[in-house]
């Protein structure tokens, strides 16, 4: 039986159940690249301070290259006794390099090792996510550009409220995604600190150069406090917040697009590639991509809470509870990348039916504009609101559209109405009037498109 790395003080012969229960390789094997990189950097540092002879560091370097090959070729064999990826790699290193391998853990702990590996893994995967986010932003921009002239009802409380441009709606999603990219960048910069060399909790007793280690591993700086670096898990919690914020945004949008896809709306149709049929009802084409994305948000939101609950009540240093940080965080990061890509694909492949959107426009969408017409002729808005409310009721009684009321009908509520009301209060004018920054007027939306493009361009440069 393989000896445990801690088998001096404790016999090392744990029960099979304990061994299985405590093993974390199922998740942390994902960090094999990072663990090898950390081993390389640490070995080089130990060579600098004379722990490894030139001959030994050569053997270590070669052994690490072999281990890397084994992982790349899917030929690395884990033993049941390998408690985690760090133990597995150290065990193999010692098999290959003999006594030199047995020196690698000098002055380091799995506590600073795991904190470093995890940050590196997150950084690599966050790069993939960032790429997916920028691709989604590009799709949103492209689809918005196609639909600067497409008008649809804007809803509040799922009641028709005011007309909007489809481009304006799509750009609303764009800015939400934009904030995720900002958050991700800020998050990565905040945690751009290398824990390696912090030891178990108190720092390394060997004179390692942590600035050099940080540089070697591509971090901006070493973490400033060994207790904080090894015991803190905000690094996971904050990432999960960034993930769940996007998951929540997309779940809202997917819920809305799912309804737009319903027969009664018919505003959008998804490509067959992003829909499924029913095992029973032959006519069905279900917008499953939207529903799955909406559903996945639940786990993302819960994951953030899980990390905080995991940490609450723990002392500031490492406790084994913290091993539970990675399965949930790693899964969520992998999943949000897929979510982002799938939403991107589904949006890129969807068809928007602008005629259905136009046909759905109810004249009552112009009620605010009708009130604004009176305001421009000097009526205080509150009175104008009351007058138009009565006009809306009158139209309902007459079973006609609001702007189908005659001038005489309108003048029954206010003699400020004149013939020009019919040419002034139109959908085109309703949109055009909302021309201040951030509004849905075609001109304002074009300016917004330019701003969005500029923002996306800046990200590309970073
Ligand atoms: N597998 C552990 C984890 O993921 C690594 C650190 C273990 N440290 C320890 N002292 N047992 O958290």
Q: Which domain holds residue 42?
A: 16-102
Q: Which atom of ligand 1 is nearest to the CA of 322?
A: 12
Residue-wise pLDDT tens digits, 372-407: 999 999 999 999 999 999 999 999 999 999 999 999
User: Whole-prediction pTM value?
Assistant: 0.94
Q: Two tokens at 330?
A: 């790693």
Q: What's the 304 CA to ligand 1 centre distance in angstroms?
A: 21
pLDDT above 60 (res 142): yes
Identify each DSSP E strand in 209-269 by its residue range. 221-222, 268-269
Q: How high is the pLDDT of residue 1?
A: 60
Q: Which atom of ligand 1 is nearest to the CA of 200?
A: 10
Q: Two tokens at 459?
A: 């990200």
Q: Is 204 exposed, middle or buried (0-12, 13-18, 19+ CB in 10 A)?
A: buried
Indicate the residue among 102, 137, 156 that finishes a domain.
Answer: 102
pLDDT above 80 (res 182): yes
Q: Two tokens at 101?
A: 């391998």
Please report, for the domain that includes residue 190, its CATH number: 1.20.200.10
Query: Is the same domain home to 84 and 118?
Result: no
Query: Is the same domain home to 21 and 52?
Result: yes
Ligand 1: list residues with CB < 6 Å: 24, 28, 84, 110-111, 114, 320, 322-323
Give the closest residue (by CA) to ligand 1 atom 2. 323
Ligand 1 pocket, mutate which of 24, 91, 111 (most atoms under 8 A from CB) = 111
Question: Of the residues 157, 263, 279, 436, which is catalytic?
Answer: 157
b/e sequence 406-416, b meaning 16+ C-beta within 10 Å? eeeebeebbeb
Share of the chain above pLDDT 70, in %: 99
Specify whether 15 is catalytic.
Answer: no
Give the distance from CA 419 to its chain's centroid. 53
Give the distance from CA 311 to its chain's centroid. 22
Query: Is the same domain home to 115 and 95?
Result: no
Please report, for the domain that includes residue 96, its CATH number: 1.10.275.10
DSSP calls for 172-195: HHHHHHHHHHHHHHHHHHHT-EE-
Residue-wise pLDDT tens digits, 244-282: 999 999 999 999 999 999 999 999 999 999 988 888 888
Indicate the residue among 341, 359, 377 that finishes a domain.
Answer: 359
Q: What's the 53 CA to ligand 1 centre distance in angstroms?
A: 29
Query: Is the same domain home to 141 and 96?
Result: no
Indicate the residue among 359, 390, 411 that finishes a domain.
Answer: 359
Specify whether 278 is catalytic.
Answer: yes
With contact defined as beta carbons under 8 Å apart, do 190 and 236 qualify? no
Query: Is the same domain home to 184 and 233?
Result: yes
Residue-wise pLDDT tens digits, 2-25: 788 888 888 768 899 999 999 999
Confidence of residue 460 (pLDDT cuts 50, 70, 90): low
Give the closest residue (by CA) to ligand 1 atom 12. 323
């Amino acid at each position: 039986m393989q000896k445990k790395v801690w088998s001096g003080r404790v016999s090392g012969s744990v029960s099979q159940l304990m061994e299985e229960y405590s093993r974390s390789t199922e998740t942390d094997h994902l960090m094999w690249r990072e663990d090898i990189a950390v081993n390389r950097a640490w070995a080089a540092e130990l060579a600098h301070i004379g722990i490894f002879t030139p001959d030994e560091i050569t053997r270590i370097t070669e052994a690490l290259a072999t281990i890397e090959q084994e992982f790349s070729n899917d030929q690395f064999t884990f033993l049941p006794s390998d408690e985690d990826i760090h133990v597995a790699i150290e065990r193999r290193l010692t098999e290959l390099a003999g006594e030199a391998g047995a020196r690698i853990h000098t002055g380091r702990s799995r506590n600073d090792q795991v904190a470093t590996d995890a940050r590196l893994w997150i950084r690599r995967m966050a790069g993939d996510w960032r790429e997916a986010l920028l691709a989604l932003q590009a799709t949103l921009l492209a689809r918005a550009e196609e639909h600067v002239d497409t008008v649809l009802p804007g809803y509040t409380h799922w009641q028709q409220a005011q007309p909007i441009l489809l481009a304006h709606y799509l750009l609303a999603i764009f800015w939400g995604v934009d904030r995720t990219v900002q958050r991700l960048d800020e998050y990565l910069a905040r945690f751009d600190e290398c824990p390696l060399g912090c030891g178990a909790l108190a720092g390394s007793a060997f004179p390692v150069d942590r600035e050099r280690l940080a540089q070697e591993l591509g971090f901006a700086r070493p973490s400033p406090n060994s207790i904080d670096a090894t015991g803190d898990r905000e690094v996971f919690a904050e990432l999960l917040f960034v993930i769940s914020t996007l998951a929540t945004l997309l779940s809202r949008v997917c819920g809305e697009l799912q309804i737009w896809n319903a027969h009664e709306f018919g505003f959008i149709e998804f490509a067959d590639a992003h829909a499924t049929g029913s095992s029973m009802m032959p006519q069905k084409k279900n917008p499953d991509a939207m529903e799955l994305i909406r559903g996945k948000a639940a786990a993302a939101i819960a994951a953030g809470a899980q990390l905080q609950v995991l940490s609450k009540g723990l002392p500031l240093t490492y406790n084994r509870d913290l091993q539970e940080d990675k399965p949930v965080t790693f899964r969520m990061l992998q999943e949000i990348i897929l979510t982002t890509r799938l939403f991107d694909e589904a949006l890129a492949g969807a068809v928007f039916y602008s005629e259905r959107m136009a046909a759905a426009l109810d004249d009552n969408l112009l009620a605010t504009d009708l009130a604004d017409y009176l305001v421009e002729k000097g009526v205080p808005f509150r009175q104008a609101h009351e007058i138009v409310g009565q006009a809306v009721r009158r139209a309902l009684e007459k079973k006609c559209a609001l702007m189908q009321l005659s001038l005489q009908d309108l003048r029954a509520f206010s003699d400020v109405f004149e013939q020009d009301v019919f040419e002034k209060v139109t959908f085109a004018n309703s949109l055009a009037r909302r021309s201040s920054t951030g509004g849905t007027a075609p001109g304002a939306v074009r300016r917004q498109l330019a701003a969005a493009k500029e923002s996306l361009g800046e990200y590309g440069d970073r």
